[in-house]
């Protein structure tokens, strides 16, 4: 990790995976089977919060202090450091619905703090990413699929804001009666943020599709581990669409959500089959960024040897 700080970008996937599991538990209402599951899930959520904070704060400090970067090196993978904060915020809103009032209130406050830390950091990296794609050329063909990664964190901000707004409308009324009028305001703010995030996700999705199609015209896009970013991005965009469709009662969004569910299922099956085949052959274990760097180093070294390998007699020919 110290020799290659780029590998630290993927440590943010650990708390995001925990958030996915916890959200699934709350979605299927497994708490009704055993009340102890509520507190077990809540404890695991605190672990994911600590991991998300470590990934977003400590890893950023390590990368900044140990490696010099330019804006040309910015990719969508940078968002993997800050995306866990918004994931933990939306997961906290899902768990708070099954907690007692005092614990739900504390979870709501912590979740809003996580969203407040993750949303500005995500926006800052997205600004750098948009500046990079408008100033320099597209990423290499073997890493072009990472163009879909920004779709996930941007959509996750909308999901977290809307989920927390809906939960605040209920929790604040029971826990703090003096703030009962703040709940509807936070719900309205959550809907507004979710709508803006959905519109930005449409732009990011359009650009990602264009980037893949454009690179596909010049070279074949090989399958690697970055293809799994498609499931995260499409899944989050689908969750945001479903949340907005439920709150706004728009059939257009509900139909779009069903289409995304089918697309997500197809992507899961495709990635699973290709990953199994790649693991069997060993081709899936390569890191595109490192491979490109090693190839460039070998090419420059061979060029230098060719230039310097001149016999003394040849200098006078």
Q: What is the pLDDT of residues 217-228, one digit of tens each?
A: 877 788 887 788
Confidence (pLDDT) at 32: 63
pLDDT, residue 116, reads: 92
| Average pLDDT estimate for 299-305 | 38
Q: Is the pLDDT of residue 23 over 90?
A: no
Q: What percent of the chain has pLDDT over 70?
A: 82
Q: Give the range among 34-38, 52-56, 95-99, 197-201 with minimum mean pLDDT.
A: 34-38
Q: What pLDDT score does 304 carry?
A: 36
Better-predicted residue by pLDDT, 281 or 4: 281
pLDDT of residue 34: 66
pLDDT of residue 303: 39
> pLDDT tens digit string along 245-270?
989 888 888 899 999 999 999 998 99
Lowest-pLDDT choice from 9-13, 92-96, 249-253, 255-259: 9-13
Report yes or no: 234 and 153 within 8 Å, Cβ to Cβ: no
Of the pLDDT bands very low, low, confident and very high (cuts 50, 70, 90), residue 199 is: very high
Residue 123, judged by CB atoms within 10 A of its CB (0-12, 13-18, 19+), counts as: middle
pLDDT, greater one: 276 or 35:
276
The pTM (predicted TM-score) of the whole model is 0.81
CB 75 within 8 A of CB 139: yes
Asked if 88 and 49 count as a contact pair (C-beta separation under 8 A), the reply is: yes
Predicted pLDDT at 3:
54
Residues whose CB falls within 8 Å of the CB of residue 36, separated by 6 or more in sequence, listed in order: none
Question: Would you say the C-alpha torsion 224, 201, 207, 122 has a positive or negative sign?
Answer: negative
């Amino acid at each position: 990790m110290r020799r290659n700080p780029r590998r630290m970008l993927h440590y943010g996937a650990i708390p995001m995976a925990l958030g996915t599991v916890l959200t699934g538990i709350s979605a299927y209402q497994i708490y009704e089977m055993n009340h102890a599951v509520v507190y077990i899930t809540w404890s695991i959520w605190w672990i994911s919060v600590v991991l998300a904070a470590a990934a977003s704060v400590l890893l950023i400090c390590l990368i900044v202090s140990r490696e010099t970067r330019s804006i040309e090196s910015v990719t969508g993978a940078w968002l993997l450091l800050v995306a866990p904060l918004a994931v933990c915020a939306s997961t906290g809103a899902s768990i708070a619905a099954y907690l007692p009032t005092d614990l739900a209130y504390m979870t709501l406050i912590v979740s809003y703090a996580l969203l407040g830390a993750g949303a500005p950091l995500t926006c800052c990296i997205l600004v750098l990413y948009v500046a990079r794609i408008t100033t320099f050329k597209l990423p290499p063909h073997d890493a072009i699929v990472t163009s879909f990664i920004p779709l996930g964190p941007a959509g996750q901000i909308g999901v977290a804001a809307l989920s927390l707004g809906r939960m605040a409308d209920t929790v604040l009324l029971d826990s703090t009666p003096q703030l009962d009028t703040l709940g509807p305001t936070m719900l309205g703010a959550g809907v507004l943020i979710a709508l803006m995030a959905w519109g930005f996700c449409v732009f990011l999705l359009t650009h990602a599709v264009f980037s893949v199609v454009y690179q596909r015209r010049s070279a074949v896009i090989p399958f690697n581990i970055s293809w799994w970013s498609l499931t995260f991005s499409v899944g989050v965009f689908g969750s945001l669409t479903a949340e907005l469709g439920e709150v706004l009662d728009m059939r257009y969004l509900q139909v779009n959500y069903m289409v995304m569910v089918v697309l997500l299922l197809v992507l899961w099956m495709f990635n699973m089959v290709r990953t199994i085949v790649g693991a069997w052959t060993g081709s899936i274990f390569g890191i595109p960024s490192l491979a490109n760097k090693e190839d460039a180093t070998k090419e420059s070294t061979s060029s230098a040897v060719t230039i310097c390998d001149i016999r003394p007699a040849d200098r006078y020919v």
